[in-house]
């Protein structure tokens, strides 16, 4: 274990700071200020499709706010943020294996699921990230608490390797606490006790906030938030990017921290700030979006991009979903970057209503028709798993 930790820390130190990497000139550079051709793609030409219907009974009813957290080799993990329910389904059949809800105020419970859930199939554990990180068995038996305060400020927490989780500390916007914002926001913490294993040496001299404090009367305030995708899974690796990033990193349990791309102009060179966000990384391509951080605009619009690793070609892209193109009105297909899943794969919820509509129009690929013919409109969501070529 000591050798492994030393290797990881060495790799982190070699990676250097954000500012150093951005100016090194040794990395591929993508210029987001230029005009690029629009490449129109068809999702079903890019990936094979598999559907897994999630079991529906009077006791197993998912809301429209249910979150797909992980698709592993054996299980599919789903949680309800506010309700507190944790569901573990069979990966292949969709049958419910375990369900628990430990919402409460005791030291072994959680008030709500603020920062998501994590499935560790190898250790047979589920991490519920609320005020602290509560660790349970797959059946829901309490095991331990990691004292990482998730209510103190916004953060994201992701599974990294057998020993550790990656924690990203967001900008602190609470009035009179802004100076507490760290310039090194990434750290690896122990799955055993929550202690800090190492702090990633990614340094941000300045940081953008995707949430701002709107000041109200009587010294009150409320957060105004722009939701965006950041720090996402890529198989066992993690893609490291946030609202302050000019460099995209890949964090690998076997190879450490690896810078992949640098963008120009800098995220700080425009007003409103034009951030970039990762959606999907495969062996061949990176799909990402750019988004203006304009808190005065009600509806913000992504611009979508495809970067090819071998040719270093960058294009604007729109991806047509031939099965469910009406599922989101006036929008192209965008991968759900949240679920943890194997390399070169992506997963997302499809409603039973959307499945039945596509079935009636004979649009479904893979095993879609076999799944849809047994669905009812009020059944639980179906998990669509895409394996990219």
336-363 confidence digits (pLDDT tens): 888 999 999 999 999 999 999 999 999 9
Structure tokens at 75: 């299980």
Tokens, residue 234: 């890529």
Class of residue 245 by CB neighbours under 10 A (exposed 0-12, middle 13-18, buried 19+): buried
Mean pLDDT of 246-252: 97
Cis bond before residue 129 (omega within 30° of 0): no
Whole-number pLDDT of residue 318:
95
Least confident range of 18-22, 213-217, 271-275? 18-22
Record the tokens describing residue 209, joined without a space: 């906030």
User: Contact 190/166 with Cβ under 8 angstroms?
Assistant: no
In angstroms, rounded to a whole number, what is the distance separating the alpha carbons of residues 306 and 317?
A: 6
CB 43 within 8 A of CB 320: yes
Q: What is the mean pLDDT of residues 74-79?
A: 98
- For the segment 8-27, the average pLDDT, to the nearest whole number, is 43
Question: What is the Cα–Cα distance from 263 to 279, expressed in whole angstroms?
Answer: 16
Chain center to CA of 188 = 17
Spans of all domains in the chain: 2-388
* pLDDT for res 299: 83
pLDDT-derived band of residue 18, with 50, 70 and 90 as boundaries? very low
Closest CA to 243 of 258, 256, 225: 225
CATH class of 2-388: mainly beta
Q: Which percentage of the chain shows pLDDT scores above 90? A: 84
Alpha carbon distance 126, 312 (integer Å): 39
pLDDT at 4 over 70: no
231: left (phi over 0), alpha (psi -120 to 50) or beta: left
């Amino acid at each position: 274990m000591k050798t492994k930790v030393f290797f990881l820390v060495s790799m982190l130190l070699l990676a250097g700071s954000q500012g150093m990497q951005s100016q090194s000139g040794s990395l591929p550079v993508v210029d987001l200020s230029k005009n690029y051709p629009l490449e129109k793609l068809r999702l079903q030409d890019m990936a094979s499709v598999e559907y897994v219907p999630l079991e529906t009974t009077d006791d197993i009813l998912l809301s429209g706010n249910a979150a797909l957290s992980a698709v592993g080799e054996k299980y599919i993990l789903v949680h309800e943020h506010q309700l507190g329910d944790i569901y573990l389904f069979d990966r292949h059949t969709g049958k419910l294996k375990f369900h628990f809800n430990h919402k409460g105020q005791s030291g072994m419970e959680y008030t709500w699921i603020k920062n998501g859930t994590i499935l560790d199939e190898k250790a047979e554990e589920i991490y519920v990230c609320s005020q602290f990180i509560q660790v349970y068995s797959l059946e829901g038996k309490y095991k331990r608490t990691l004292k990482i305060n998730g209510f103190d400020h916004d953060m994201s927490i992701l599974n990294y390797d057998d020993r550790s989780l990656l924690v990203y500390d967001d900008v602190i916007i609470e009035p009179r606490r802004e100076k507490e914002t760290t310039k090194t926001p990434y750290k690896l913490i122990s799955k055993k006790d929550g202690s800090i294993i190492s702090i990633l040496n990614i340094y941000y001299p300045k940081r953008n906030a995707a949430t701002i404090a709107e000041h109200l009367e009587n010294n009150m305030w409320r957060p105004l938030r722009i939701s965006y995708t950041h720090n996402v899974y890529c198989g066992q690796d993690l893609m490291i990017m946030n609202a302050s990033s000019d460099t995209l990193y890949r964090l690998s349990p076997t190879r450490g921290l690896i810078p992949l791309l640098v963008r120009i102009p800098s995220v700080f060179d425009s007003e409103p700030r034009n951030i970039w966000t990762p959606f999907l990384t495969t062996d061949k391509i990176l799909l990402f979006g750019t988004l203006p951080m304009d808190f005065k605009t009600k509806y913000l619009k992504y611009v979508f991009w495809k970067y090819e690793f071998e040719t270093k070609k960058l294009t604007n892209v729109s991806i047509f979903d031939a099965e469910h193109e009406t599922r989101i009105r006036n929008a192209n297909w965008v991968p759900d970057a949240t679920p943890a899943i194997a390399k070169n794969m992506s997963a997302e919820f499809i409603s039973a209503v959307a499945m039945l509509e596509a079935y009636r129009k004979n649009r479904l690929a893979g095993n879609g028709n076999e799944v849809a013919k047994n669905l009812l409109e009020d059944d639980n969501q179906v998990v669509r798993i895409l394996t990219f070529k």
